[in-house]
Amino acid sequence: GGADVEYDMVVLGAGPGGYSAAFRAADLGLKTAIIERYATLGGVCLNVGCIPSKALLHVAAVIEEAEHIDTAGIKFAKPTVDVDALRKHKDGVISKLTGGLSGMAKARKVDVIRGYGHFLDPHHLEVEETTGTSQDKTGAKKVVKFKQCIIAAGSAAVHLPFIPKDPRIVDSTGALELRQVPAKMLVIGGGIIGLEMATVYSTLGARIDVVEMMDGLMQGPDRDAVKVWEKQNAHRFDKIMLKTKTVAVEAKDDGLWVKFEGEGAPAEPVRYDMILQSAGRAPNGKKIGADKAGVIVGERGFIPVDAQMRTNVPHIFAIGDIIGQPMLAHKAVHEAHVAAEVAAGHKAAFDATVIPGVAYTHPEVAWVGYTEAQAKAEGKKVETAKFPWAASGRAIANGADYGFTKLIFDAETHRVIGGTIVGPSAGDMIGEVCLAIEMGADAVDIGKTIHPHPTLGETVGMAAEVAHGSCTDLP
């Protein structure tokens, strides 16, 4: 009783997790609605994440390529950058995709309820409605009853508490708005998001400093790959301050004055025109009234789930950034399908062995499964095969002979259990390594697979051939 509308399935949040779950649930016959506060579907990924960043990184890559082709006797003039037109281009990419999603929701008869949702009890959500064109509340409220629910409310950028509010200080969402190209920019946090944005802004003309608390940029991939990346990207940075913390920011008329502490810290405050806060993202678990539904939320805001994506309340599922690391769109989508299928009564569980990670920088860095560092830390016996792109015809032709493809094999079973690729299109190529791992392929399987020549993808096969050399059981 007391509900304005009632559904078999209500999905809270319309990011890649949420819309994938809703579409799958509807396809499996459940009467489904999505609650979303944004005016468009797609969540962080489409509106302020994966897609806009890649639209800008593509432009940056074109500029970079044009600048480096002079070694081939081709000289372009320095590009003129029309920031307003570039912003429009990026927004056009987003609206094409969000418009497509909206059409797909309609085609499946998935209702979209616009507003902020929070639980009232284990079977009701209240939605404070938004205008449909903005995130502003209209004052109207609606109670939505559900038989089952999937929480897909995602995450938000962490804002350091001592950093003042100032239009020159942005998080990734602000950086993607592309309001200005500063002369001097500080990137707080040397993770993927920070380095992708550093790539965009530096290509558009900004000088960049990066400050990172850990002892290296880009946690995740092996250091040999990051070293290649650093060498190719050295031209962007004035300073990379490792093992260093930002401790104070003062917003003055003449700039943002920043104090640092740690191994890389300059003695005096440094002046910047713009600061990007990209020191991590936090789940939205504590913002949805989960306790009213009896759903347990961990201390840091993550919602624990089982392999079927069920929370402690069996008819309420959770997926995507809100359940844990890695906070990646393809992980959210995979979990979405599991949750929707289980909710529809199908047998499904999360049993992917690996989740790939990619920095879509120039060059790209992609890794999946075991790294050498992780194997070493766990005392796992592995064999490593590394194919340097200096021996790839296509890489040399493309001016990318600095890259490499590395495969990691279990020393006992000889199955591939990891891979790292650095170079242009590494993110596209890592998919083959993911498939090989999921299928239990060994070096022979990959090496004897005929790859097209000459391609960068061929280097995966060549790395496997390198591994053949160390295998004793080969013909």
* Binding-site residues: 54, 117, 189-196, 212, 280, 321, 327-330
Quick check: 139 and 130 in contact, CB under 8 A?
no
Residues that bind ligand FAD (CB under 6 A): 12-18, 35-38, 43-45, 49-50, 53, 116-118, 152-155, 172, 193, 284, 288, 320-322, 327-330, 332, 360
Contact 151, 297 (CB under 8 A): no
Residue 124 pairs in a beta bridge with 121, 145
Q: Which of 181, 183, 212 is nearest to 197 (CA)?
A: 181
Output the CA–CA distances (angstroms, integers) from residue 223 to 229, 242, 272, in the order listed.
10, 14, 29
Instruction: In whole angstroms, give the CA distance from residue 146 to residue 142.
Output: 13
- Provide the annotated binding site for FAD: 54, 117, 321, 327-330
Return the exposure string of 444-456: e unless at least 16 CB atoms fall within 10 Å of the residue's CB, then b: bebbeeebeeebb
Contact of 238 with 245, CB cutoff 8 Å: no
Q: Residue 215 region, left (φ>0) first, then alpha (ψ -120 to 50), else beta?
A: alpha
| Known catalytic membership, residue 453 | yes
Cα–Cα distance measured from residue 131 to residue 109, given in angstroms and rounded to the nearest whole number: 21
SS3 state of residue 26? helix
Cβ proximity to ligand FAD, 396 vs 435, nearer residue:
435
Tell which residue, 409, 60, 392, has the closest CA to residue 236. 60
Shortest CB 96 distance to ligand FAD, Å: 17
CB nearer to ligand FAD: pick between 55 and 467 = 55
- How near is the Cβ of 163 to ligand FAD at its closest, in Å? 18
| Phi, psi dihedrals of residue 307, rounded to the nearest 5° | -65, -15
321 token code pair: 């950034």
Q: How far is the CB of 410 from ligand FAD (least distance, A)?
A: 27
Nearer to ligand FAD, 51 or 270 (CB): 51
- C-beta closer to ligand FAD: residue 116 or 389: 116
Residue ranges at the known binding site for NAD(+): 189-196, 212, 280
Closest CA to 276 of 249, 238, 243: 249
Least Å from the CB of residue 328 to ligand FAD? 4
184: buried, middle or exposed (CB in 10 Å: 19+, 13-18, 0-12)? middle
Contacts of 100 (CB under 8 A, 6+ apart): none
Which one, 12 or 375, has the nearer CB to ligand FAD?
12
Catalytic residue among 235, 362, 453, 468: 453
Cβ closer to ligand FAD: 17 or 363?
A: 17
**What is the nearest approach in angstroms of ligand FAD to the Cβ of residue 360?**
6
Taking the complex as a whole, the smallest distance from the CB of residue 278 to ligand FAD amounts, in Å, to 8
Catalytic residues: 453
